[in-house]
Amino acid sequence: QFPPITNSLLPSDAVSLLSFKSKADSDNKLLYALNERFDYCQWQGVKCSQGRVVRFVLQSFGLRGTFPPNTLTRLDQLRVLSLHNNSLTGPIPDLSPLVNLKSLILGHNSFSGTCPVSIVALHRLTILDLSYNGLTGLIPVNITGLDRLYSLKLESNRLNGTVPPLNQSFLVVLNVSSNNLTGRIPLTPTLSRFDTSSFQLNPNLCGEIINKACSSHSPFFESPNATSPPRPLGQNAESQGIVVLSPPSPPSNHKKTGLILGLSIGFAVLVSSLLCIFLMIRKNGSERNSKETTTASINDENNSPEPETSRNVGQVGESKFQVETKVNKVQVEEIASQRMMKKSGSLVFCAGESEVYSLEQLMRASAELLGRGTVGTTYKAVLDNQLIVTVKRLDANKTAITSPEAFDQHMDAVGGLRHPNLVPIRAYFQAKGERLVIYDYQPNGSLFNLIHGSRSARAKPLHWTSCLKIAEDVAQGLAYIHQASWLIHGNVKSSNVLLGADFEACLTDYCLSVLADSSSVEDPDTAAYKAPETRKSSRRATSKSDVYAFGVLLLELLTGKHPSQHPYLAPPDMLEWVRAMREDDGREENRLGMLSEVASVCSLTSPEQRPAMWQVLKMIQEIKESVMAEDNASFGYS
């Protein structure tokens, strides 16, 4: 007989279960009482082994409430967690401490928020069921690393983005139907085993697996007009972060200026937009009730069995044009213009963010020039409510190739990206050639500053562990962007890696270069990051050119040398050079070798030979794991 339990002696698993119940069981369906020390092992749904909870299965218990953080996740011996078919609401908490979990079944509830990224840390997972909830956001790309996964059920949520390239050999149950997934389903051997039923009711999915041709997503990806003469170089080379430049005109020494895009421009823009909106409303008023027919015809078009003849985007665009009837085209344009009427001239907040400031407040903000980049000028703006934001004012000439509709559509998609290693885009604005993108301000500067800034020319490169951490952060951010198969960063470089509040590395300026005429964005500071195949101005960047730029960035990190100073080296000589630039002790040799190898494969001349970003991420994480294992072992023996 165990003595009666007092609160302070409660076993920790009992505390976890009781704190879960306190929030998840508003109707008191679970009769949990603790009179004796191990009573909790007899509670409904609980199964223990050696006094620790290993199974917690509460299926169809009518639970109403939330799944509070730091409750069940303390049950670190848990193998099976099922809360299937209850009425739990709110977000799914961070599950990463449940490292022993094999089955996670949270389907048929009303969970909301994004699909939890923490699931990718659950390496032993074989069954994952999050189906029939209200989950939003992307399917975490690293889910591809769960190599024991046997069953993956994500159907009937509101997930968007693309289907990750799942290729786990054990995967035999897969259902992602009834979501908002988009793009081509990757043709991996594993995914090819599944048929349409695994993917149905995602109107924007396409690809061989579901027998539906993919059409081009937007005009951005059409080849730029190769015959147009290159534009004169604008303000470019001085833009490497540490130099604070003064605005172009009028010349001024004042650090703080009223935003160049000040009230007067803003006001003029607003008035002209309102006028434009008024005219468009009059023009379209009589045609408004054709909207339903239009949506139907767009869907019909998506379902048309048009064969995809080539992966060349320009050609895909053409064949799409051929199959579209004239009527459809007019209708598509009409929808776009109706959307534009609503958005033009107003600040559009992204990803459902609440409107914490107005356009007028932004225009009134005091601003400091941070620098001029390849596609625009960047300001730090302090709003009257003391909120600090970064405003990127895009160069109207350089982005003139992108129509207002295309800009709007693109920013809607890019502004929705949320990842700890991306600087979030909070809002955007366009009217009459004026285009602004508003980001969070990052007070800790850029990676460029960290590597080259205040350090003297003879300063040592960053410590090996910092290099690894930054490389992993950047790779995470890039792999996330590439998850949406049509998105690429397009401008990976050290001044576009900013340091967040915890000094985590965050990519910025992502997916903007595609808006600009590539012949107008030549910049000597950027040239060294450019993959060989994109150096001709007519060639668009691709995910593989991002991988190349990542390789260059990794070398910059390891050597402390700006890419313009990198010699051309064959892979075997690369390590020699990296080693020569550093003064590590012998212990670092092996680690350095592994990271240099990643840099080498990323910067291979042939894009086909470069790995995909998720593979690069995996390599870096494997290096990290092996280093940790090595360090643990040496601690054990010393």
Ligand X SMILES: Nc1ncnc2c1ncn2[C@@H]1O[C@H](COP(=O)(O)OP(=O)(O)OP(=O)(O)O)[C@@H](O)[C@H]1O
Tell me which stretch binds ligand X (CB under 6 A): 372-380, 472-480, 481-489, 581-589: 372-380
Residue 597 CB, nearest approach to ligand X (Å) = 28
Residue 527 CB, nearest approach to ligand X (Å) = 11
Complex with ligand X: residue 371 or 563, whichever CB lies closer: 371
Complex with ligand X: residue 24 or 499, whichever CB lies closer: 499
How many of the chain's residues bind ligand X (CB under 6 A)? 23
Number of H helices, E strands in the chain: 14, 21
Tell me if 224 sits within 8 A of 538, measured CB to CB: yes
Distances (CA, A) of 55 to 45, 105, 148: 8, 12, 19
Query: Quick check: 375 binds ligand X (CB under 6 A)?
Result: yes
- Residues from 475 through 514 that contact ligand X (CB under 6 A): 491, 495-496, 498, 508-509
Query: Quick check: 241 binds ligand X (CB under 6 A)?
Result: yes
C-alpha 282/C-alpha 607 separation (Å) is: 51
Burial status of residue 349 (CB atoms within 10 A of its CB: 0-12, 13-18, 19 or more): middle
Position among 446, 518, 543, 596 found at the interface with ligand X (CB under 6 A): 446
Q: C-alpha dihedral over 337, 341, 343, 344, to 10 degrees?
A: 100
Helix (H) or strand (E) holding 631: helix 613-637
Residue 535 CB, nearest approach to ligand X (Å) = 16
The angle subtended at Cα 506 by Cα 454 and Cα 567, nearest 5°, is 60
Complex with ligand X: residue 372 or 419, whichever CB lies closer: 372
Residue 525 CB, nearest approach to ligand X (Å) = 7
Complex with ligand X: residue 159 or 261, whichever CB lies closer: 261
Residue 241 CB, nearest approach to ligand X (Å) = 3
Complex with ligand X: residue 129 or 509, whichever CB lies closer: 509
Site string for ligand X, 329-368 (x = CB under 6 A): ----------------------------------------
Residue 379 CB, nearest approach to ligand X (Å) = 9
Site string for ligand X, 378-407 (x = CB under 6 A): x-----------x-----------------
Burial status of residue 299 (CB atoms within 10 A of its CB: 0-12, 13-18, 19 or more): exposed
Position among 71, 168, 177, 239 found at the interface with ligand X (CB under 6 A): 239
C-alpha 97/C-alpha 589 separation (Å) is: 32
Tell me which stretch binds ligand X (CB under 6 A): 141-149, 209-217, 331-339, 370-378: 370-378
Distances (CA, A) of 497 to 3, 374, 494, 500: 59, 15, 5, 9
Asked whether the bond before 186 is cis by omega within 30 degrees of 0, the reply is no
Burial status of residue 217 (CB atoms within 10 A of its CB: 0-12, 13-18, 19 or more): buried
Of the candidates 592, 285, 566, the one whose C-alpha atom is nearest the C-alpha of residue 464 is 592
Complex with ligand X: residue 168 or 377, whichever CB lies closer: 377
Neighbours of 19 (CB within 10 A): 16
Query: Quick check: 520 binds ligand X (CB under 6 A)?
Result: no
Tell me if 388 sits within 8 A of 365, measured CB to CB: no
Complex with ligand X: residue 109 or 390, whichever CB lies closer: 390
Query: Quick check: 415 binds ligand X (CB under 6 A)?
Result: no
Tell me if 120 sits within 8 A of 138, measured CB to CB: no
Neighbours of 286 (CB within 10 A): 8
Complex with ligand X: residue 154 or 498, whichever CB lies closer: 498
Complex with ligand X: residue 207 or 371, whichever CB lies closer: 371
Residue 553 CB, nearest approach to ligand X (Å) = 13
Complex with ligand X: residue 372 or 452, whichever CB lies closer: 372
Query: Quick check: 441 binds ligand X (CB under 6 A)?
Result: yes
C-alpha 518/C-alpha 537 separation (Å) is: 6
Residue 446 CB, nearest approach to ligand X (Å) = 4
Q: Which residues bind ligand X (CB under 6 A)?
A: 239-241, 370-375, 378, 390, 423, 439, 441-442, 446, 491, 495-496, 498, 508-509, 526
